[in-house]
Each structure stands twice: as C-alpha cells, then as structure tokens.
Amino acid sequence: TKVRKIGKKKQPVEEYLKMQRRFKHLFTMEGGEEEIAKIQAIADKNIEEFGL
C-alpha cells in the first residue's frame, strides 16, 4: 500500500475535528482545549515518526 504524504502545509487537527460531530464535545467541554492539544501532539509525532 502507498502512504499519502501530508504536504508542506499541515492543517491543525482542530479543523478535522470540527468537521465531525462525534468530536463536538471537545469544543464545548471544560478542558477540551487541552485534549485537542494532546491529539495535535500525537498527530505531530506520527507525522514525524512515519515521515508523512
């Protein structure tokens, strides 16, 4: 299988999460910003680790 590269301009995970209703609670709950930051850190680590 082929891996799709992210490209030069990475979009923040917040943009992806906003489009999906299942993550709506992250934007309305107390502490949601910290959770989004954790998700962003995981995404950044994966991009680096897998060369995306």
Residue 39 is predicted with a pLDDT of 97
Distance (Å, whole) CA 50 – CA 52:
6
Distance (Å, whole) CA 26 – CA 50:
27
The predicted-structure confidence for 1-52, as pLDDT tens digits, reads as follows 677 777 777 889 999 999 999 999 999 999 999 999 999 999 999 989 988 8
Residue 19 is predicted with a pLDDT of 95
Residue 4 is predicted with a pLDDT of 75
Residue 22 is predicted with a pLDDT of 95
Residue 3 is predicted with a pLDDT of 74
Q: Supply the DSSP symbol for 42.
A: H
For the chain, the structural domain boundaries read: 13-47
33: Cβ contacts below 8 Å, ≥ 6 apart: none
User: Which tokens hold the place of 46?
Assistant: 């994966």
